[in-house]
Amino acid sequence: LRIEDTDQTRYVPGAEEYIIRALNWLGLTPDEGPEQGGPAAPYRQSERMAIYKDFAMTLVKDGKAYYAWDTPEDLEQMRQRLTDKGVPTPKYDASVRGEMKNSLSMAASEVEDLLEANVPYTIRLKVEPGQSIFIQDKIRGEVVFDSTELDDKVLLKADGYPTYHLANVVDDHLMKITDVIRGEEWLPSTAHHVLLYRAFGWEDTMPTFSHLPLILKPDGHGKLSKRDGQKFGFPVFPLAWPSANPEESIEGFDSFGFEPEAVINFLAFLGWNPGTEQEIFSLEELINVFDPERIHKGGARFDYDKALWFNQQYVQQLSFASAESRLKKYGADLGYDLSVTNLESVFNLLKARVHRLIEVVPQGYYFFTDALVMDEVEISKKWTPEAGPVLGKIADALKSVAPFTHESAAAVAKEIIQTSGIKMGVLMPLLRAALTGTTQGPDVFAIAEVLGKEKTVSRMLQMSKRN
């Protein structure tokens, strides 16, 4: 299996390392890579330049490809001329290559001179029109292209780098790749690739092709792209890509607090399903049950809500041991000292309430700081002057409760509330607000137990002084 990323024009330093880290995060550790070596090394495109050039030259020698010296301006003019003539799809093909600056149209001596003078050239595939190219796609069945519709693709660029088409075919052949599995956007190019295998005489050992359905934007318009992360407010990459320039920073599922297993799980279900009603699968189970026959043909829209639901299923399974270090990191990121309270209790109290582990810290912030943010709007809706003294009475009574537990605190407090004449529905929200600043959240006395007697009492007293 080779995973490609040969984006030369927009090459980002560190991209290679990012891919390795992302795979590791997802639990898919590559056992070979540029650094580890392997039977088909080297792997970096820049280290294989001579290989690509050799194979391109072979094609030229065999008359399957040719040199071209057209400038971008020449190409632009050609396209314009064809458009003006009413040609729907202007392309560099058999019908126009005689009019362009290439080794097929120019005199041999002229070609010699240009080569001699080291004038940069591209090498183009000589596509013979009028042939049918049958592609057997494992997902789509037989797909037919007519070579008349195909252009003379650039194989080797003027800067000496191969285009994807050349590199892909040469590498796959040399590295004995058996299955090409890629996105549907590559389906039209596959016709060129088959032609290349044919030109090299490698058609017998050509890999099989599987073109996967695309992941579409949530609104269904177009394939999901990296910019959509910012646009729709959710990640599209496994790992975040921090940058000095915030505009270039990209969020990742990791920085959004997603579980790697959940990401694998919901990604697997985009364009595929097991045919049963089970939806939660570990990587191991997925490997066992995954059947390529069941891969869809149509694109699937990315649904962030469903992704969150998958993640929630995994968060509920999380043990404190596996969550602890991440919680501490999330806490530190928000400036909280999570050592001041029993983090395990906080985790157990809040995990059923969140979709992502990262939400535990902000949701339970009142466990980590005494600087409560009071929700004055909700509090004033419930507040009555009589509530103050009752809160004070409860606080006083709680001082002598030992051991201080959910049950013991609740028993004492409820006793006082019931004799106070104030409704539960009024006092309970105020009690919760005293402890957390808001009127909603987990069970008041469960919070109290985790908070401890001292903080519970002092926060209640604080609230009781309100008027």
Q: Closest approach of Cβ 402 to RNA, in Å? A: 21
- Tell whether the torsion through CA atoms of 32, 35, 38 and 41 is positive or negative: positive
Q: How far apart are CA 140 and CA 430, in angstroms?
A: 62
DSSP per residue, 268-313: HTSS---SSS-----HHHHHHH--GGG--SS-EE--HHHHHHHHHH
Active site residue 91: no
Residues 403, 371: contact at Cβ < 8 Å? no
Q: Closest approach of Cβ 93 to RNA, in Å? A: 10
Q: How far apart are CA 103 and CA 61, in angstroms?
A: 12
Q: Which is nearer to RNA, 113 or 305 (CB)?
A: 305
Q: How far apart are CA 197 and CA 206, in angstroms?
A: 7
Q: Which is nearer to RNA, 316 or 339 (CB)?
A: 316
Could you tell me how far CA 154 lies from the centroid of its own chain?
31
- Tell whether the torsion through CA atoms of 26, 32, 36 and 40 is positive or negative: negative
Q: Which is nearer to RNA, 68 or 463 (CB)?
A: 68
Q: Closest approach of Cβ 65 to RNA, in Å? A: 13
Residues 153, 163: contact at Cβ < 8 Å? yes
Residues 6+ apart with CB under 8 A from 314: 259, 261, 262, 265, 280
Q: Which is nearer to RNA, 220 or 335 (CB)?
A: 220
> 53, 91, 226, 382: which one is catalytic?
226
Q: Which is nearer to RNA, 240 or 446 (CB)?
A: 446
DSSP per residue, 78-109: HHHHHHHTT-SS--SSTTTGGGSSBTTTS-HH
Residues 436, 446: contact at Cβ < 8 Å? no
Residues 414, 442: contact at Cβ < 8 Å? no
Q: Closest approach of Cβ 92 to RNA, in Å? A: 6
Q: Closest approach of Cβ 159 to RNA, in Å? A: 6
Q: Which is nearer to RNA, 12 or 332 (CB)?
A: 12
Letter string b/e over residues 341-360, b meaning 16 or more CB atoms within 10 A of that residue's CB: bbbebbbebbbeebbbbbbb
Phi, psi of 216 (to 5 degrees): -95, 160
SS3 366: helix
Phi, psi of 53 (to 5 degrees): -65, -45
Q: How far apart are CA 140 and CA 211, in angstroms?
A: 7
Q: Closest approach of Cβ 354 to RNA, in Å? A: 7
Q: Which is nearer to RNA, 227 or 296 (CB)?
A: 296
Q: Closest approach of Cβ 201 to RNA, in Å? A: 24
Q: Closest approach of Cβ 112 to RNA, in Å? A: 19
Q: Which is nearer to RNA, 434 or 457 (CB)?
A: 434
Q: Which is nearer to RNA, 208 or 339 (CB)?
A: 208
Q: Closest approach of Cβ 209 to RNA, in Å? A: 12
Q: Which two tokens stand for residue 38?
A: 């392997």
Q: How far apart are CA 142 and CA 182, in angstroms?
A: 17
Amino acid (one-letter) located at 120: P
Which residues have a catalytic role annotated? 226
